[in-house]
Chains A and B, each alone.
Chain A
Amino acid sequence: MRLTNAGNRWTWTAAASIAVLAATVLLGPAMRQSTATSHWDAPATTVNKQIDATDLYAFTSPERQDTVTIVADYIPFQAPHKPYQFDTDARYEVHIDNTGTGRAAITYRWTFADKALPAPSFVRARERQAGPEHQAGPLDSLVEQSYTLTRLRDGKSEILVRDGYAAPTDLGGPGYAATRRKAVRDLPGGGKVFTGTAADPFYSDNRAVNLLRFGLPFFPVKTGVPMNVSALALQLPKSELALGGDPARNPVIGVWTTASRRSSALLGSGAAGYTQVSRLGNPNFNEVIIPLKRRDHFNTLRPDGDESGGLVVPSTLDPDQAEVVAKQANVTAPPAPRKDLEQIYLTGLARTGGPIKQDLNSHRLNQDAPRTAKAEELRLNLSTPVAAAPDKYGILKGDAQGYPNGRRLIDDVVTINLRMLLGEPAGRGAPGLIAEDNPAFLLKPITDSFPYLALPVTAAG
């Protein structure tokens, strides 16, 4: 008996040892680190914020109602007191489609040039830290950029602003208000332009964001972004944008913004033209409607190819994310095809255009529009009167001037998009999913004149 026991124990020991040895040998390379010495290791994914369009706003200017204000925000999450720059090899553009074909009738193009040292600021920051004279501001303010604003219309280009002043961030010195004023310029024809750093007006309900973007539960906490963005803001007469110069007859425009970067030839061949690397019309459209694997693709597309492109229309008609969110929130999403979403994002709302029976912002309302196509744009009806008491839930609460009829700085677009994804306003949807509250949760109040954006966030607030 004892013998058997001992024998057993030995068998066990041997088996275990062999198993452990084998596992070690097999898993060895995976478990242990190796030091790579002779290969080239470059970053594959980079923090590519410079050409990242984060938000686009378009609304009738409340105090100059014959004009419309368009704001395109780039370079998100700028820490206070840190200067950030636009890419000098890129074109930042705001496009206006007033015919409904998806083609830009008017394009405003910003290009930037460094006025001072071309090295990124963090290098100089480090050098300064190393040096004996540690000072906070003056050196950084050297990182100024100038811009050229060009208008492209009817195949012609016209320079509106030459050597414009892009406002750097607030480095804590006195008199920043003057810097802001310096960066607001009049345009020929009655418009205005502002280019530079401002506090990011974006805010959202955390629960809505997490549900909408990741399909995950989260706390219902309202948060803003205590950081800055680089804004490209225009205030333009409505007559300049409307088809035929007549905003009464053709009140609807579509807006989107793109960034394109100059590419390079390789080994003496290949194109070195500008490649579109970022596109933004409706907020959240790319992250929510377009499947993850095609999002980079969407960034390269133009709206006039949306209808036939095989990506935008089918994704809108049957968004995967609707299912994910509905399941997570324990509600039901309307079944595909989602003609309502197509109306909201691709054609705009018109009584004849789909399940949402409302004449609001479809290009069909333009009496001179020849033929409208499905194209993802932020559509704005220039003739919608400015709401006396704006509601941040926009058309979901009967405020026709709010998103998705353009987008104001105060609109809670994430919640609106979430609710629209779940069926509003065509159907019942799930209105109570995100608790409603008012007013907008803005970290820094917007101002009442152009560019409306608050001054940059500083460490002091």
Chain B
Amino acid sequence: MIAALPAAATLAATTALATAVTPAAAATPTAVVTPAAAVTSTVAVTSAAGVSPAGTMRPAAHPLGNFSVNHYDGLTIHPDRIEHLAVVDLAEIPTLQQPPIGPPDAYARRACADLRDAVRADADGRTLSWRVTGASFVYRPGAAGLRTSRLTCRLTAPVRVDRPVALTFANAYRPDAVGWREITAKGQGVRLRDSTVPAGSVSGELRDYPADLLSSPLDVRAARMTAEPGDAGGPVAPAGVPGVDVVTRYTGLLADRLNALIGADRLTVPLGMLALLVSLALGAVHAAMPGHGKTVMAAYLAGRERRLRDAVTVAATVTVTHTAGVLVLGVLVTAAGVIAGDVVLSWLGVASGLLITAIGAALLHSARHHRPGHEHGHGHKHEHGHGHGHGHGEGNGRRQGNGGGHGPGRRPGSGVVGLAVAGGLVPSPSALVVLLGAMALGRTAFGVLTVVCYGLGMAATLLVTALALRRLGGLTVAGRMRRLRPYSAVMTAALVLLVGLGVTVRAAAALV
């Protein structure tokens, strides 16, 4: 019953409003449970080419005022063209102010032609010419028995992305009216760089406007980005350089929540538990972030014999290193005021990168000298691999096979520990912020506890990743990957080396 309430509420709201206007209409309980009744009165016309918009119920009260005209422009850049999905959501009054003249699909085509003329887009300074490929216009039920409407246009313009192309886009269709204005851009078969707009719509293409008190209606009227040839789907933003800017990097969703919890006027037990839980989750997420050397570690674990003990060691080391790092940095920043935390973080990033590089080099070295043993070890492993029996000491024989290279190969390998240290060395800015916030509030002990939880969360992710990779490794290697197995140590080592170099360079770049 409770779960059913929100939907009923929306409907009831519509009903209540309808009854307010026309007292004659009887408000019966049945009206509440039949959504169809509200929809049947709609005049829905969809023209040929357009894809019919999903049938979500719009809220009765237009969240942006009942005379708003709201725009959404979704750009999808393909190697040979740009697809532009333009949605115009007109609230009750504008719908009435400019009623469609003639048949709706003809009107939709006309309106989309107007829209096309208002769109200005350049590729490397050359103006793109748009063609309308789809147009639809539908009414939707609005407040007080009035209607709102939704114009959907699909446009396309040819463009060749065979080298980096600078794109600009602006939509000046009906510029005067108040309303939401949103532009998104994503690449399909091309990569987007330096885009001024996000890839996804926060309003669900004008179907679900955020109603948060702390957000303002979007007013994005133009976009700029560079499209370059490359594989599709690659996320636009590069992975963050570790802790470039300690002050601005911590406003993630959860981190904010955590800060709020820690800053609460009175720290009750449930609130405290919640804060710890959130920090656990934050830690887990942080560990899952690319960069920071953790992925390297996972790869390393995968390339090696994938023992649970190793994974546990890594997890524990990361937790300890990270917690210690955050605490030390926190004390440093608090005590020394201006030692800008960001510089320290960048230096730590360099250190971490160098450590990883060194380990990678050592690994490479050892892999080239011990390949036969390596191969043998893995064969053995595969036979007994999954299932049970990892803690039984038979591992010692395998260790000699491929664990060598660095030092005497004491268990667990110092390389693993080194990588774990590298991974935990760069404190996550959000953990640091949490700690500083707690210290400023005089809740230092609680702050430390939170940071420990944070580290535990990271450890958990690493553990799970390691175990998962271990399982996956067992599964995939069964196939043709098996042939690559002899080289896997070399590949792993090379990967570690590369990533180490990358981390170093990025961290160093932040310093200069």
A residues at B contact (CB < 8 Å):
12-14, 16-17, 20-21, 23-25, 28, 31-33, 35, 205, 207, 217-222, 328-330, 434-437
Given contacts A32-B61, A33-B65, contact A13 B338 (CB under 8 A): no
B residues at A contact (CB < 8 Å):
1, 4-5, 8-9, 12-13, 15-17, 27, 29, 32-33, 61, 65-67, 143, 247, 263, 333-338, 436-437, 440-442
Question: Quick one: which of B17, B67, B333 contacts A35, CB cutoff 8 A?
Answer: B67
Q: Compute how far the CA of A218 lies from the CA of B247 in the bound complex, rounded to whole angstroms.
A: 10
Chain B residue contacts of A25, Cβ below 8 A: 16
Check B29 against A13 for contact (C-beta < 8 Å). Answer: yes
Check B441 against A217 for contact (C-beta < 8 Å). Answer: yes
Check B61 against A20 for contact (C-beta < 8 Å). Answer: no
Closest CB of chain B to A129's CB: distance in Å?
16
Closest CB of chain B to A299's CB: distance in Å?
31
Question: Quick one: which of A16, A33, A220 contacts B334, CB cutoff 8 A?
Answer: A220
Nearest first, the 5 closest Cβ-Cβ pairs linking A and B are A330-B442, A435-B337, A217-B440, A20-B12, A24-B16
Q: Compute how far the CA of A314 lies from the CA of B367 in the bound complex, rounded to whole angstroms.
A: 79
Check B27 against A33 for contact (C-beta < 8 Å). Answer: no
**Which single residue of chain A is at the shortest CB-CB distance from B67?**
A35
Q: Compute how far the CA of A435 lies from the CA of B331 in the bound complex, rounded to whole angstroms.
A: 12
Check B12 against A17 for contact (C-beta < 8 Å). Answer: yes
Chain B residue contacts of A16, Cβ below 8 A: 1, 4-5, 8
Given contacts A17-B29, A437-B337, contact A217 B263 (CB under 8 A): yes
Check A21 against B12 for contact (C-beta < 8 Å). Answer: yes
Check A207 against B8 for contact (C-beta < 8 Å). Answer: no
Q: Compute how far the CA of A14 lies from the CA of B15 in the bound complex, rounded to whole angstroms.
A: 14
Q: Compute how far the CA of A16 lies from the CA of B335 in the bound complex, rounded to whole angstroms.
A: 58
Check B29 against A207 for contact (C-beta < 8 Å). Answer: no
Chain A residue contacts of B15, Cβ below 8 A: 21
Q: Compute how far the CA of A207 lies from the CA of B439 in the bound complex, rounded to whole angstroms.
A: 12
Given contacts A17-B29, A17-B32, A33-B61, contact A219 B436 (CB under 8 A): yes
**Which single residue of chain B is at the shortest CB-CB distance from A8?**
B1
**Which single residue of chain B is at the shortest CB-CB distance from A221?**
B247
Check B66 against A33 for contact (C-beta < 8 Å). Answer: yes
Closest CB of chain B to A19's CB: distance in Å?
9
Given contacts A13-B29, A17-B12, A25-B16, contact A434 B440 (CB under 8 A): no
Q: Compute how far the CA of A221 lies from the CA of B342 in the bound complex, rounded to whole angstroms.
A: 11
10 contacts across the A-B interface (CB closer than 8 A)? A12-B1, A13-B29, A17-B8, A20-B5, A32-B143, A217-B437, A218-B440, A435-B336, A436-B337, A437-B336
Q: Compute how far the CA of A207 lies from the CA of B437 in the bound complex, rounded to whole angstroms.
A: 11
Chain A residue contacts of B32, Cβ below 8 A: 13, 17
Chain A residue contacts of B66, Cβ below 8 A: 33, 35
Check A222 against B61 for contact (C-beta < 8 Å). Answer: no
**Which single residue of chain A is at the shortest CB-CB distance from B32?**
A17
**Which single residue of chain B is at the shortest CB-CB distance from A32?**
B61
Chain A residue contacts of B17, Cβ below 8 A: 28
Chain B residue contacts of A437, Cβ below 8 A: 336-338
Q: Compute how far the CA of A12 lies from the CA of B32 in the bound complex, rounded to whole angstroms.
A: 13
Of the listed residues B13, B17, B436, the one surrounded by the most CB atoms of chain A closer than 10 A to its CB is B13
Check A20 against B9 for contact (C-beta < 8 Å). Answer: yes
Check A219 against B16 for contact (C-beta < 8 Å). Answer: no
Q: Compute how far the CA of A16 lies from the CA of B33 in the bound complex, rounded to whole angstroms.
A: 12
Chain B residue contacts of A436, Cβ below 8 A: 337
**Which single residue of chain A is at the shortest CB-CB distance from B9?**
A20
Chain A residue contacts of B442, Cβ below 8 A: 328-330
Chain A residue contacts of B16, Cβ below 8 A: 21, 24-25, 28
**Which single residue of chain A is at the shortest CB-CB distance from B1?**
A12
Chain B residue contacts of A205, Cβ below 8 A: 337
Question: Quick one: which of A12, A28, A31, A434 contacts B337, CB cutoff 8 A?
Answer: A434
Check A207 against B27 for contact (C-beta < 8 Å). Answer: no
Q: Compute how far the CA of A14 lies from the CA of B27 in the bound complex, rounded to whole angstroms.
A: 12
Closest CB of chain A to B173's CB: distance in Å?
21
Question: Quick one: which of B1, B61, B441 contacts A31, CB cutoff 8 A?
Answer: B61
Chain A residue contacts of B4, Cβ below 8 A: 16
**Which single residue of chain B is at the shortest CB-CB distance from A329?**
B442
**Which single residue of chain B is at the shortest CB-CB distance from A434?**
B337
Closest CB of chain B to A30's CB: distance in Å?
11
Q: Compute how far the CA of A436 lies from the CA of B27 in the bound complex, rounded to whole angstroms.
A: 70
Closest CB of chain B to A222's CB: distance in Å?
6
Chain A residue contacts of B1, Cβ below 8 A: 12, 16
